Structure 1
Amino acid sequence: MDDLQNWQYIAAALIFVWTGFVRSGLGFGGAALGLPLLLLVVDDALVWLPLIGIHLLFFSSITVSSRMQHIDWAYLKKALAIMIIPMLVGVFGLLTLPSEWVVVFVYLTTLFYACCYLFKFQIRSNNRWADHVLLMSGAYAAGVSLIGAPLIVAVFTHHVVKEMLRNTLFVLWFILVVIKLSVLWSVDVNFWWWHHLWLLPCAAIGHVVGLKLHDHLMAGDATRFKQVIGAVLVLICMVGLSAQFENVL
């Protein structure tokens, strides 16, 4: 991060504006929709995940600090009991798997989300076992790269009322990220603290805009918005995967 070219700094700043917007606007997806872009700038997830994680802690704290009564604590505790072990397994994978494998995992997982958005396929949870599979899969993906939100949201949407959904998810992300960052800190992963000084304001801009548009986005089904995101993400993932395969060959 200390020796990037000018275009990389500019790209990173704009992407963090985007992640802030998505996170506060939809209540989820900042990492899932931002990390694939960031990996085109520097293709190492361990560079970006501490930065994304610290931002998520900061902004989720601000968002829910005055809304603690609008959180479904009962379901949150139930879901965490299911998710904690897969989450830790995912973090272990992040630290032990080759960086290239993690990058490919991010792109393939995001490509799946992108296709769901593009073709209006909704990830659904219809029974208890499906709930468990989605929560565990989402927790593992969150452990590896913080991109498990769409799988987790598919379950929470059916168990948490709409008015409490975003705040409940923010608390969930806060807890999961605290666990993840604690593990990364314990193994001396670089958190790039100085870079927060210029990236936090970028994310703040997106965060404020997202808060203003949240009610508008939630008023409808946001289908068209997600379709556009899906189309762009498909292109980004194809470019990213092509670059990775070229490196291997």
Structure 2
Amino acid sequence: MKKLKTALIMGILSMNAQASMPQDIVFKEGESIQLTLSKINFNRLYVKGEKITEIRFLEGTFTVEKPNKDEIDSGLESIYLKPTFDDKLTLFITTNKHHHFSIQANSDESLGKTFEMVPASLIKNVKRVADKSNDFIRKEKPQVLSEVDQIFQDMENLQTPRGFEQVKFNGQSFFLQKIIKTKPIRVYQGNSLKSYVYEIENTSKAKVKLDKAWFSKNKNTKAIHLSKNELNPSEKAYLYAVYNDMSRSRG
């Protein structure tokens, strides 16, 4: 009987160890991630190399516990969360390095899981590929990007585009289509181009499908890129824009 108890205990410990192994999830700026969380156990989530500074969700939809003192001292700052409803729920997360992503959470009665969220800027030439049950990382051959695509990629990864410099500015919010709150948050100056990163928010009470034409009315617009094509009420995304700036090149 003693041997049987020992075997059972070892089996339980083994299962817990397997359940606690972190799942690495690579995310791009503003990306929405599909995850399945345990609703009967707490799930642990943290961002590699960063601290989670803000969590937004509908009141009562998640139970969230803050990190303990040892984790805060180590700079890990995990969050422990558990869904309280069976319906799909949304959680918005911001880090101390101004990375933003959201989680579309389904729930089940499995053991608690650990997720390590990895900013795409930490990994080169990778692509997230999803199958029916899991996300995984597949290495791809480097691709030669156009000048504009390279600028967009650098801005998405919070990097200054090559040949540009980040400039200071006083960014004021404005509205497009009366419902899309738009705020410039970063500006980069090149020789003949100028690029902006805008935070956009749906302030209406209905889902909105974004139209690129709304953001292309400036005659100097060279190209734009949206991190999302539609927004739920109060949901945020990012607009990346490149403009011709001939005044600089003439100077």
Q: Normalized against structure 1, the TM-score is what?
A: 0.25
Larger radius of gyration: 2
Q: Normalized against structure 2, the TM-score is what?
A: 0.25
Question: Which protein has the bigger strand share?
Answer: 2
Of structures 1 and 2, the one with the larger relative CO (CA 8 A, separation 6+) is: 1
Question: Which protein has the bigger helix share?
Answer: 1
